[in-house]
A and B are shown apart, each in its own frame.
Chain A
């Protein structure tokens, strides 16, 4: 039995949450059971990811390839738990556990009755399963399917709250995301036309032969994928849907949307760019310059827009736009150092943003205040929540000893190695701007006179979730060791043929 589970682990990581999501609706009345099952599913995912990571580590980085139905590629569908796969799997499952824990016994207030809570968990598990799928998939069409699953479950999560603003945000998101999906599908279709393969490895090999003959078609495919995933990942200036969607969703949903869903699309983009098109082609078409430019504008514009927001959750949402800029900038560096930075930053931002959104949600729930200047004195009354927020902020600003610093360090070094000065300046300016938009929150919380109100830290599971995330931010900053190593191997693998 255990052997059976072990050999099928790459597919189980994806299937288990999806399966649990299916059996939840009939149990909707027994809300405790629903919570427990959902929690078990995410914990199983995390354990499985840890095991797969250990296997990949033990095999010195060679991937755990799983053939669905026993059919070998290119006929069958492959799941590959390689360095990149397990890296993102760890990030997804690792963040999904505390975020789910935060919702425990706490969601009814945000989304309404038991039926809606169950619906939330169903969507949440679908999202986690699909993101896990994005981590391990090696098939172009599977990517499209997973992209659709993620999009639709995100859409449901955005509208989980009974509020006209939520419905409006979800609708905007749906329209733009569908446009993105169509573009992605177009890109995949073109690739299939050009190469005759849907397996990424085979498609990449074939594309290397085909692209001198069809340069325009390849260019179209590249631009379709970048724009398609760009819309979904809220790459500036395609970010317009994100602030409303992430700011109106219930806080665990905001955390997972900002922390992970956006990253899922970016991992897919990364797989397309480096796994299918390949570094040589990217350089030939000057795609890396476009990516760098998009990253730089994203960082600067996102940060400035964040600075202009008065509501805490909106400020955090715009900050996500800026952080996506860092990742895309790293993708465009075309060297291992820059990619290591981007990957590590991706994981670090997932944890940090989850911590920030959850603590912001806890604050909003306890105080009923949305605006930053109304948060005077929160730090004294809700010490655990604000401590998590402060640690997250320090991480996002990129202070040493916090996880963000290591990512930024490699991003800076990578950009410099690529011989580009503009991204270096943008990364640094982004840090200063980040301090400018997050420190006022901390200042208001700790140094402004507190009103005579009874605000309190949230319950035990919520506090535990916040502490877990804050600890991970610090742990990744002080001892990034094996995780960084995994990112390094993944980056080296992606650039292996370059």
Chain B
């Protein structure tokens, strides 16, 4: 219980503290940010340990006639641990990236607030709490999206709000209808709708898919994500590749496994459509990515594609598919964060933001580009990296769930990923150098490079020793099947 409170409150407390610290005391501020993020990470690990040990940590309250509760389960714990751990890396990277930039106080303060809100999404024990944190996530991240305050950033911010608030409104409708049908909104104790009247469930599933699909960037609801790439790179890395979009994915996993349940979903007509929506998003996303010249936009479209890997795994409604989804969630998040870190380093050090100007970057920034190359292999899903196992189980789940064409889609997507990024790597190492020569040293660069390389090492570690994440994944699969 105490661990849960610690995990959830550290971000809010830190965010408020940062907000009142004088803007000029940047060193003190960094220490505060690091300390409170550390507290949050510690709290999340404690929660995870307790949940895996089979304890129930429940904080419940009431809002009028509505119950509101936090009740971490294995799936929530995986998401929370992932977010918390990556938050620590991102915070350190931000110390380097944001140094000397404007509006730092706002940045760190909302980064910490968002930390709490993300953990709130992970630990929500019922639909009301999930909706609350889902909505708050949009608002708490808005200042981070418009961090640059440029005209483009403001427009992107408006788009971001419009898409996400509309999505949340649809979600609220779905939740109200669920309340009207099932009466109960808590996740604990099996799927909510398992014993309902089963009328209008297809429509309900559609509403849930749209509501969470906006944040999960399910096509055609994905347009806000590439636009939100105007945010600073650490924000893009954490929020638009992990925390915010994962909140959508996480929500959909909740819908599949906690609201409807795989058995009931198998009987619904609309379910048959969902894997194909995911498949189309996977392929179209990555194909659109190959056509982007701006590096961050290319990564954004790739994110759209890879998020649907996870959804595809869930929509197979098979234990292996779920295992694949969770594995993919973990492996992909670490590598994608590293990927964005590399792109941010390249942009900060050489000013290169476009693929067409990448020639020779590898000679200037060898370590960064080496990390970039390894991550590229991970994005394709090759063995020494963690994402291989995710993909393996996703394919296994697809075949076992009787949807073998999905396995082909996954393989094809891996191939297009290769087409999309291998030439960039080759060009960076072989081409004629066009950018100004810079060193890869200095305190600021180290702050950015160290988390990047560490994440790549973790990605390799997960590939070589998948056993280290397997207990967490097994706990999720056992919980729902």
Instruction: Determine if chain A interacts with chain B.
Output: yes
Chain A contact residues, CB within 8 Å of chain B: 399-401, 405-406, 409-410, 412-413, 416-417, 424-425, 428-429, 431-432, 435-436, 439, 443, 446-449, 477-478, 480-481, 484
- Chain B residues with Cβ under 8 A from A400's Cβ? 63, 68, 128, 131-132, 135
Bitwise, B39-74 to A at CB < 8 A (1) or not (0) is 000000000000000000000000111101000000
Contacts of B165 in A (CB 8 A): 431-432, 435
* Nearest 10 Cβ contacts at the A-B interface: A400-B132, A480-B64, A428-B169, A412-B176, A484-B64, A406-B64, A435-B165, A432-B169, A432-B166, A416-B180
Interface size class of B (residues with CB under 8 A): 20 to 34
B170: chain A residues within 8 A (beta carbon): 428
B66 x A409 contact (CB < 8 A): yes
Binary contact track B135-163/A, C-beta < 8 Å → 1, others 0: 11001000100100100001001000110
Chain B residues contacting A478 (CB-CB under 8 Å) are: 63
Instruction: Determine if A484 and B65 form an interchain contact, defined as CB atoms under 8 angstroms apart.
Output: yes
Majority SS at the chain B contact face = helix
Query: Hey, which chain A residues are within 8 Å of B180, CB to CB?
Result: 413, 416-417
Q: Which of A399, A413, A446, A449 contacts B176 (CB 8 A)?
A: A413
Q: How many whole Å from B391's CB to the nearest CB in chain A? A: 38
Query: Chain A nearest CB: distance from B193 CB in Å?
Result: 16
A399 to B132, CA, bound (A): 7
Q: Taking the nearest CB of chain A, how far is it from the CB of B99, in angstroms?
A: 22
The chain B residue sitting closest to A400, CB to CB, is B132
Given contacts A400-B68, A436-B162, A477-B63, could you give 16 more A-B pairs where the C-beta distance is less than 8 Å? A399-B139, A400-B132, A401-B63, A405-B63, A409-B176, A412-B173, A413-B180, A416-B176, A417-B180, A428-B172, A428-B173, A431-B165, A431-B169, A432-B162, A432-B169, A484-B64
Which B residues are CB-close (under 8 A) to A401? Answer: 63, 132
Q: Report B-chain residues with C-beta under 8 Å of the C-beta of A448.
A: 149
Could you say which residues of chain B place their CB within 8 Å of the CB of A435? 161, 165
How far does the Cβ of B127 sit from chain A's closest Cβ, in whole Å?
Answer: 11
Decide yes or no whether B179 CB sits under 8 A from chain A: yes
- CB distance A406 to B63 under 8 Å? yes
- Tell whether A412 pairs with B172 under 8 Å between CB atoms, given A432-B166, A439-B161: yes
- Chain B positions near chain A (C-beta within 8 angstroms): 63-66, 68, 128, 131-132, 135-136, 139, 143, 146, 149, 154, 157, 161-162, 165-166, 169-170, 172-173, 176-177, 179-180
Give chain A residues whose Cβ lies under 8 Å from the Cβ of B63.
Answer: 400-401, 405-406, 477-478, 480
Q: Which of A425, A432, A447 contacts B143 (CB 8 A)?
A: A447
User: In the complex, what's the smallest C-beta–C-beta distance from B159 to chain A, in angstroms?
Assistant: 12
| A448, B157: Cα distance in complex, Å | 13
Residues of B within 8 A of A477 (CB): 63
A-B CB pair tally, cutoff 8 Å: 64
A271 to B135 CA separation, bound complex (whole angstroms): 37
- Chain A, Cβ-Cβ closest to B179: A413
Q: Nearest Cβ in chain B — how far from A450, in angstroms? A: 12
Residue of A nearest to B61 (CB): A478
Chain B residue with Cβ nearest A488: B65
Q: Which residues of B contact A409 (CB under 8 A)?
A: 64, 66, 176
Asked if residues A424 and B146 are in contact (CB atoms below 8 Å), the reply is no
Residues of B within 8 A of A431 (CB): 165, 169, 172
The residues of A that contact B169 with a CB separation of less than 8 Å are 428-429, 431-432
Chain B positions within 8 Å of A439 at CB level: 161
24 contacting pairs across A/B (C-beta < 8 A) = A399-B132, A400-B63, A400-B68, A400-B131, A400-B135, A401-B132, A406-B63, A406-B66, A410-B65, A412-B173, A412-B176, A413-B176, A416-B180, A428-B169, A431-B169, A432-B162, A432-B169, A446-B143, A447-B146, A447-B149, A449-B149, A477-B63, A478-B63, A480-B63
Decide: A481 near B176, CB < 8 A? Known: A399-B135, A432-B166, A436-B162.
Answer: no
Q: Which residues of B contact A425 (CB under 8 A)?
A: 173
A484 proximity list for chain B (CB < 8 A): 64-65
- Expressed in whole angstroms, the Cα–Cα distance for A405 and B177 within the complex equals 16
Chain A residue with Cβ nearest B131: A400
Chain A residues with CB under 8 A of B146? 447
What residue in chain B is nearest A431 (Cβ atoms)? B169
CB closest chain-A residue, reference B134: A400
* Cβ distance B156 to chain A, nearest Cβ, rounded Å: 13
CA distance A256 to B258 in the complex (A): 46
By a CB distance below 8 angstroms, the chain A residues around B179 are 413
Question: How close is A413's CB to chain B, nearest CB, in angstroms?
Answer: 6
User: What's the least CB distance linking B228 to chain A, in Å?
Assistant: 16
| B103: nearest chain-A partner, CB-CB | A447
CA distance A449 to B154 in the complex (A): 13
Q: Give every chain A residue within 8 A of B68 (Cβ-Cβ).
A: 400
Chain A residue at minimum C-beta to C-beta distance from B173: A428
Q: A446–B68 Cα gap in the complex (Å)? A: 31
The answer for the CA separation of A449 and B157 in the assembled complex, in Å, is 16
Bound complex: CA of A401 vs CA of B139, how far in Å?
14
A183 CB → nearest B CB, Å: 36
* Bound-state Cα–Cα, A325 to B173, Å: 19
Considering only CB atoms, which chain B residue lies closest to A344 in the complex? B64
Q: What is the CA–CA distance of A429 and B162 in the complex, to the nearest angstrom?
A: 12
Contacts of B161 in A (CB 8 A): 435, 439
With A and B bound together, what is the CA distance between A389 and B4 in angstroms? Answer: 32
Q: Which residues of A contact B154 (CB under 8 A)?
A: 443
Closest Cβ–Cβ distance, residue A83 to chain B (whole Å): 16
Q: A428 CA to B66 CA in the complex, in Å?
A: 19
- Whether B64 pairs with A481 at a CB distance below 8 angstroms is yes
- The complex places the Cα of A443 from the Cα of B142 at a distance, in Å, of 10
Q: How far is the CB of A286 from chain B (nearest CB, A)?
A: 24
CA distance A13 to B200 in the complex (A): 50
Q: Which residues of B contact A428 (CB under 8 A)?
A: 169-170, 172-173
Q: Is the CB of B143 within 8 A of A424?
A: no
Chain B nearest CB from A441 CB (Å) reads: 13
Query: Measured between alpha carbons, how far is A425 from B162 in the docked complex, in Å?
Result: 16
In Å, the complex CA distance between A412 and B207 comes to 15
- Residues of A contacting B162 in the complex (Cβ-Cβ under 8 angstroms): 432, 436
Q: A411 to nearest B CB, angstroms?
A: 10
Residues of B within 8 A of A481 (CB): 64
Closest-by-CB residue of A relative to B128 is: A400
Complex Cα distance, B106 from A163, in Å, reads: 42
The residue of chain A having its C-beta at the shortest distance from the C-beta of B147 within the complex is A447
**Whole-angstrom CA separation of A405 from B132 in the bound complex:** 10
Docked CA distance A405–B139 (Å) = 16
Chain A residues with CB under 8 Å of B64's CB are 406, 409, 480-481, 484
Task: Determine the chain B residues whose CB is within 8 A of the CB of A406 once the complex forms.
Answer: 63-64, 66
Q: Give Cα A401 to B166, complex, Å.
A: 19
A342 vs B304: C-alpha distance in the bound complex, in angstroms? Answer: 41
- Bound complex: CA of A416 vs CA of B174, how far in Å? 11
Name the residue in B64, B68, B146, B170 with the highest tally of chain A Cβ atoms < 10 Å from its Cβ: B64
